[in-house]
Amino acid sequence: MDETIVAVKCISCASENTRFEGIVSQRPGRFQSGDSTLVQCPVCGIRFRHPVADLAALEELYTNTAHTTWPDDDFRRDHYLALNLIRYMPQPLGVLDFGCYSGAFLCKLPSGCRRYGIELSESASAVARQRGVEILGKTIKAIDAKYDNFDCITMFDVIEHLTTPVETLTSLSKLLRPGGTLIISTGDSDSLLWRLHPMSYYYYYNEHLTFYNARWFRWFAQRAGLRIAVQRRFVRDKVTFGGTLRQFALLALYDFTQMLYRCRVSRFVAGVFPFSKTLRWTVAPQLSAFPDHLFVALQKEESNENRHCDD
């Protein structure tokens, strides 16, 4: 029997042939969930934590998150990739940003667009409202039936916080008009450096519960009847050449110390020297200069009526 097979049902496709990949250790941070098992599904490609974190505690954390917790004026490549797509859509648009925080992305939209947001943080949604965003509620359930015709729905760095990605994305796609686009950005668990550090990659923040790759989006698009209009890997932040070198050097040092740690004699020698401190690194240093994020645009089919007109 294959010992890597564990009896945990996939949270995405319900397959029972999931695989145990290892233990992800708890990180310092705002949310403490303890160590968790990383489970991978060979059918749909998703990775997820098991057991599932305390969702009520997470919701409370997000609800009480201040609007100043994350800067909203920093450069974000996913915002600009989305704006490049939106520029070519027939204007004016109705755009919903799911997890809009203080409305930083919606404020970048061309004038004339109608801006809508879903946001748990009370402080951040108050700021978004001041900026002209119509906050529809805290969760997708709060959206009134009259809002079912968005031209575009965006989710930036949100899907990895969900434990019901299929249900959420399916519900969101129903809110799109025929021909509308669902735009998602998230980490790419198939990126090279992630695969080289499968259990220690920096992206395993305690609040990140599910992990995606291009394969999962292909699986989901087919299941949901959506067309993949764009799918590309990207570097999330703007990093200088010096910053890139620094990150690369830190990662090389991390890999070197991990190699020493695995070797008993070297562990003894390293313990004598000052750099032994680095042996306590359990998490690879944060990388923002490498292409380890995915940008995906899923398009809903035009209605049959519209297709007739086009023909």
Footprint of Zn ion (CB under 5 A): 10, 12-13, 15, 41, 43-44
Complex with Zn ion: residue 8 or 13, whichever CB lies closer: 13
Residue 306, helix vs strand vs coil: helix
> CB of residue 196 vs Zn ion: minimum separation in angstroms?
24
Name the pairing type of β-strands 176-187 and 293-300: antiparallel
Smallest distance from the beta carbon of 102 to Zn ion, in angstroms?
34
Q: Which has the closest alpha carbon to 104: 131, 86, 84, 123?
A: 131
- Mapped onto helix, strand or coil, the DSSP state of residue 66 is coil
**Residue nearer to Zn ion on the CB measure, 125 or 213:** 213
Contact 186, 159 (CB under 8 A): yes
Least distance between Zn ion and beta carbon 156 (Å)? 24
Please choose, from the candidates 154, 147, 86, the residue with its C-alpha nearest in 3D space to the C-alpha of residue 119: 154
Ranges of H-type helices in the chain: 55-63, 77-86, 122-130, 165-174, 192-196, 214-224, 241-262, 264-272, 304-310
Query: In terms of CB distance, is 44 or 106 closer to Zn ion?
Result: 44
Cβ-count burial 264-278 (b if 16+ within 10 Å, e if not): eeeeeebeeeeeeeb
Cβ atoms of 169 and 182 closer than 8 Å: yes
Give whichever of 44 and 287 is closer to Zn ion, judged by the CB atom: 44
- Give dist(CA 121, CA 119) in Å, integer: 6
CA distance 157 to 160: 7
* Nearest distance from C-beta of residue 210 to Zn ion, angstroms: 11
Least CB distance to Zn ion at residue 44 (A): 3
Residues composing the chain:
311
Is-contact 182 230, C-beta < 8 A? no
Q: Report the residue number, 7 or 309, with the smaller CB distance to Zn ion.
A: 7
Nearer to Zn ion, 12 or 154 (CB): 12
Q: Cβ of residue 127: shortest distance to Zn ion, in angstroms? A: 37
Shortest distance (Å) from residue 212 CB to Zn ion: 11
Nearer CB in complex with Zn ion: 41/251: 41
Q: How far is the CB of 42 from Zn ion (least distance, A)?
A: 8
User: What whole-number distance in Å separates Cα of residue 23 and Cα of residue 198?
Assistant: 10
Cβ distance to Zn ion smaller for residue 45 or 117: 45
Structure token digits, residue 101: 């925080």
